[in-house]
Structure 1
Amino acid sequence: MAVAASYFSEEQQMLLKNAIARNEKHTTGEIRVYIDSTIKGDVLDRAAEIFETLKMHETLLHNGVLIYVAIEMRQFAIIGDSGIHQHVSQNFWEKVKSEMIPFFKRQDYTGGLLHAIDETGKKLKIHFPVTKDDVNELPNDVIFGE
């Protein structure tokens, strides 16, 4: 088991997966959560690398959002594709990140991630409402790195 996964029980992982699925029922957008234990280098660079590796830039409407956490480094980033950035400013992502910090300071990583997933889902629902022919383009599982 990856070290990052040890911070989350199976129940917590299921809560996160279900939150992603629940939010994606109302939008064509895609939300992913990726958790590393540590990183070398810049958190934003690593998040961008993961975004590309997960092929999040290949969604039909370019409305994927990655919530990336390097848990032992206490660093995290939120990256949205070009479609969502046409509607949501960087200030929104910074606000969500600042709202996650109190959860993370209490080591309530699940709570912080659930908040970010729900806030992201609300914006995606406004700008990319679900369509009758919508398909889930990316898996909802939380991904754990090393």
Structure 2
Amino acid sequence: MQAGRFIRQLRESDISAAIRAAEQKTSGEIRVLISRRKPKNAVEAARKAFVKLGMTRTRLRNAVLIYVAPRARQLAVIGDKAVHERCGEQFWQEVAEQMATQFKASKFTDGIVGAIQKVGELLALHFPRMPDDKNELPNSVAKE
């Protein structure tokens, strides 16, 4: 699927609202990136984007990126060091598989929102919101 068509089908306001809702319960940060590129490996592309988006600079190293490359029909979910240490690779795979199932049914926004909710639950469990918490990253959908 072409990235432009994919993006037009997204309800970006629903995605941003889901990020805001998830981040109300955690000090963690969540970003969504839709890539127009066609990477050979979505996880590697997500890691590069993670750095480029400044996600390694969060105070507690507890950011998560949901990366979608519609042209390549690939996606990845990755977390910074502190998050990954608490959940491991299997969690990322489960979230990605749930998204892929929704995508196959052309429920793109629902797939992303579901992933945000699942990631938000994990972040809230391990990184509860702190009184002095600041929103360190934008809640909007990033595009490249």
Q: TM-score under structure 2 normalisation?
A: 0.93
Match of 2:13 in 1: 14
Counterpart residue identity of residue 90, structure 1: E
Alpha carbons of structure 1 residues 106 and 10: separation in structure 2 relative to 1, 3 Å: closer
Match of 1:83 in 2: 82
CA shift for structure 1 position 40: 3.6
Counterpart residue identity of residue 77, structure 1: A
Q: After the TM superposition, list the runs of 4 or more consecutive aligned residues in structure 1 that deviate by more than 6 angstroms.
A: none
What is the SS of the residue equivalent to 1:72? helix
Instruction: Give the RMSD, CA atoms, in angstroms.
Output: 1.5
CA shift for structure 1 position 11: 7.2
For residues 140 and 126 of structure 1, what CA distance do their matches in structure 2 show?
A: 20
Alpha carbons of structure 1 residues 22 and 72: separation in structure 2 relative to 1, 3 Å: same
What is the SS of the residue equivalent to 1:129? coil
CA shift for structure 1 position 4: 2.9
- Any residues of structure 2 matched to 1:40-119 within 5 Å, and which? 40-119=39-118
Counterpart residue identity of residue 89, structure 2: Q
For residues 104 and 70 of structure 2, what CA distance do their matches in structure 1 show?
A: 11
Residue 37 in structure 1 maps to residue 36 in structure 2:
yes
For residues 47 and 11 of structure 2, what CA distance do their matches in structure 1 show?
A: 25
Q: TM-score under structure 1 normalisation?
A: 0.92
Q: Provide the identity percentage.
A: 38
Unaligned 5+ runs, structure 2: none
For residues 18 and 37 of structure 2, what CA distance do their matches in structure 1 show?
A: 25
For residues 24 and 10 of structure 1, what CA distance do their matches in structure 2 show?
A: 24
Deviation readout 1:92-142 (Å, 9 max, x if unpaired): 111111111221101211111011000000000000000110000000000
Deviation readout 1:7-50 (Å, 9 max, x if unpaired): 24487000000100010010000000000133243211111110
